[in-house]
């Protein structure tokens, strides 16, 4: 029986390939065998693994051919799709439903009619307008041609030094891969931390890993000029005035959505600068869709429209827009949650949703907790610590985001929380998850469970969290670590802390003033939780558990003295128990 929606034979034109465009045309064909489908790609390659480009430079992906997901011949033979590379759509005539196309090989312009049009132009690397920026040894990393240029230069010139500008995902990956090829790397980042999207205390863990690999890390300093000679960049001038000698420069500053074609056609842009679309990827013109890095998505934690320049959302949106364009119906494009992960030498850093910094900027009444637990049980060999930060809404317990750093198991924890967020979970739901457990894989109480327990306790008033970077002046501070631990690493910003090891607390509790607001700390937050419960049941009315403990506070406040002047968020009042009565462990 033939599906009635396939009886029509529309002409679908798709502008751009890679993730969004390639997903759109293949889904369109699977849903409508009778449509005429044409894809124009201005570059040489239509479908490649752009996320794998840095790893080809470093040699982890040895074969260049492995980068190609699909070539034009596969689109033609398997899907009956007309793919034309080196063809750039330069104009859209909405009234006539035609596009003007430039054939870069012949220089010819021609017109192509469409019934439906999908824009998937992607985003272009940000290249600052500096003198010398066009030198032949200054590179961006956007496509296979870029990696070909980088590899050819490195083979020819054998560079010993490189400056990587930008410490986002691409910058960190290129830093790692150049280092693996024996290049001395200087990493320059305008913001005061690497991976600026992440909260600073977790980013600092990455910075320590970077320093341990002898990378020259320059934070809080941008580039102001390039020094060049004979067509080559020989130095990078920082905003601070220092010049760093180099043999090559990699730009990883970020990307800018390619929206010029949409703007020329009179299509609306959203507040974040991407093409505005509805739930099915349609622009102001219902016959024109937009997917990928050039458009906006509904961001799950806030419900607002914003750009999310990641491959996952682009693939999913492209698939659904392709279906809708040739059948007139499809599921709506799902919300994007910003789930991402990056490897930095031996560490992995993953995140989903909002960081605490982003939640505050969004005006949400957010709280957070940090747990540090092994990725599998400690008695099984090879256990590695996972540092997991959970952000949640104060009133409802709705999960707003998570970040994790560690050497093993980071993707698993972030994926579990991302899945929970997709279904609108609260921190209480995390405590109830039935996760796989065997000694070599995890623990009966997984780090995800532990984060849920701590957050639920915080909301219930069972053990209220004090933010890790808080000013501890004016609080009675109790450090329940052992004497050896305290002598080896004092609690930053709390010279007045009273050290009573946890196993001695009940017999020495009279040394504390129950009338004073008290902050309890240990190495990670686990023993301090137990101590918090003891104090709260022994007449101490205002008690806080220092989230993440001494270990994370060292990352949160990387430079501290008696005159501490860092961030000083006020502790939140102890909340009332939730209406549901559900409590943490």
Torsion sign across C-alpha atoms 573, 574, 579, 580: positive
- Which one of 3.30.70.1290, 3.30.365.10, 3.40.250.10, 3.30.70.360 gives the CATH number of domain 468-556? 3.40.250.10
From 3.40.640.10, 3.30.360.10, 3.50.50.60, 3.40.190.10, which CATH number describes the 138-253 domain? Answer: 3.50.50.60
- Of 75, 49, 78, the residue nearest 64 (C-alpha): 49
Residue with tokens 């599906």: 3
Please provide residue 233's backbone torsions phi and psi, each rounded to the nearest 5 degrees.
Answer: -75, 125
Given this chain, do its domains 4-123+256-327 and 468-556 carry the same CATH topology?
no
Q: Would you say 531 and 520 are in contact if contact means Cβ atoms under 8 Å apart?
A: yes
Helix, strand or coil for residue 476?
strand
Which of 51, 295, 368, 522 is labelled catalytic?
51
Give CA torsion, residues 441, 444, 448, 454, to 10 deg.
Answer: -150
| Sign of the torsion angle spanned by Cα atoms 388, 389, 391, 395 | positive
Domain boundaries, the chain: 4-123+256-327, 138-253, 346-460, 468-556
Structure tokens at 581: 């009565």
Q: What is the pLDDT of residue 558?
A: 60
pLDDT value of residue 468: 86
Q: Give the Cα separation of 9 and 79 in Å (integer).
A: 15
pTM of structure: 0.90
Phi, psi angle pair for 193, to nearest 5°: -150, 160
From the first residue on, what is the mean pLDDT of each consecutive set of 10 residues in the chain (585 residues)? 57 92 94 96 84 90 84 88 95 97 96 97 92 94 92 96 96 96 96 93 94 95 94 95 96 94 96 95 97 95 93 93 96 96 96 94 94 92 94 96 97 98 97 96 95 96 91 94 92 93 97 96 94 96 91 70 36 40 36
Q: Which fold has domain 4-123+256-327?
A: FAD/NAD(P)-binding domain (3.50.50)
Contacts of 211 (CB under 8 A, 6+ apart): 217
Helix, coil or strand: residue 58: helix
Q: Is 51 a catalytic residue?
A: yes
Say whether domain 346-460 belongs to CATH 3.50.50.60: yes
- Give the single-character DSSP code of 393: E
Token digits for 437?
């457990």
- Tokens 């999310």 correspond to 308
């Amino acid at each position: 029986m033939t599906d009635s929606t396939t009886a029509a034979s529309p002409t679908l034109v798709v502008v751009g390939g890679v993730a969004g465009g390639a997903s759109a045309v293949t889904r369109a064909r699977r849903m409508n065998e009778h449509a005429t489908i044409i894809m124009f790609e201005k570059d040489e390659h239509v479908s490649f693994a752009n996320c794998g480009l840095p790893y080809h430079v470093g040699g982890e992906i040895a074969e260049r051919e492995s980068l190609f997901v699909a070539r034009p011949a596969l689109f033609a033979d398997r899907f009956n799709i007309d793919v034309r590379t080196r063809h750039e759509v330069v104009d859209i005539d909405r009234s006539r439903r035609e596009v003007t196309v430039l054939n870069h090989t012949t220089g010819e312009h021609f017109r192509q009619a469409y019934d439906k049009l999908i824009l998937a132009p992607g985003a272009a690397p940000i290249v600052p307008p500096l003198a010398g920026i066009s030198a032949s040894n200054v590179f961006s990393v956007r496509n296979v041609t870029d990696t070909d240029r980088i590899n050819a230069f490195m083979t020819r010139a054998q560079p010993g030094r490189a400056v990587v500008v930008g410490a986002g995902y691409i910058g960190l990956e290129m830093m790692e891969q150049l280092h693996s090829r024996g290049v001395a790397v200087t990493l320059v980042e305008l913001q005061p931390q690497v991976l600026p999207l992440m909260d600073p205390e977790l980013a600092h863990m990455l910075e320590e890993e970077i320093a341990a690999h002898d990378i020259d890390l320059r934070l809080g300093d941008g580039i102001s000029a390039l020094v060049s000679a004979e067509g080559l960049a020989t130095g990078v001038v920082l905003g601070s005035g220092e010049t760093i000698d180099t043999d090559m420069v990699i730009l990883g500053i970020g990307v800018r959505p390619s929206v010029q074609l949409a703007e020329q056609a009179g299509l609306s842009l959203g507040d974040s600068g991407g093409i505005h679309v509805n739930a099915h990827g349609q622009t102001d013109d219902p016959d024109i869709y937009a997917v990928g890095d050039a458009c906006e998505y509904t961001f799950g934690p806030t419900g607002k429209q914003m750009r999310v320049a990641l491959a996952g959302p682009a693939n999913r949106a492209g698939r659904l827009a392709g279906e809708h364009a040739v059948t007139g119906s499809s599921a709506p494009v799902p919300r994007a949650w910003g789930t991402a992960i990056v490897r930095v030498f031996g560490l992995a850093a993953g995140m989903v949703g909002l960081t605490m910094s982003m939640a505050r900027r969004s005006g949400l009444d957010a709280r957070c907790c940090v747990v540090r637990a092994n990725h599998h049980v400690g008695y099984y060999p090879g256990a590695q610590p996972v540092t997991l930060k959970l952000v949640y809404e104060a009133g409802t317990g709705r999960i707003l985001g998570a970040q994790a750093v560690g050497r093993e198991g980071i993707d698993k924890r972030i994926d579990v929380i991302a899945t929970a967020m997709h279904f609108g979970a609260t921190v209480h739901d995390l405590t109830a998850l039935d996760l796989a457990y065997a000694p070599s894989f995890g623990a009966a109480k997984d780090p995800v469970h532990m984060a849920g327990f701590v957050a639920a306790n915080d909301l219930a008033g069972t053990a209220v969290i004090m933010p890790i970077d808080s000013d501890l002046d004016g609080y009675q501070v109790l450090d329940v670590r052992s004497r050896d631990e305290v002598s080896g690493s004092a609690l930053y910003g709390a010279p007045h802390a009273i050290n009573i090891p946890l196993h001695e607390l009940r017999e020495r509790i009279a040394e504390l003033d129950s009338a004073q607001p008290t902050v309890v700390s240990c190495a990670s937050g686990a023993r301090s939780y137990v101590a918090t419960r003891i104090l709260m049941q022994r007449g101490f009315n205002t008690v806080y558990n220092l989230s993440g403990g001494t270990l994370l506070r060292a990352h949160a406040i990387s430079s501290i003295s008696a005159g501490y002047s860092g961030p000083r968020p006020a502790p939140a009042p102890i909340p009332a128990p939730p209406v549901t009565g559900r409590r943490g462990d």
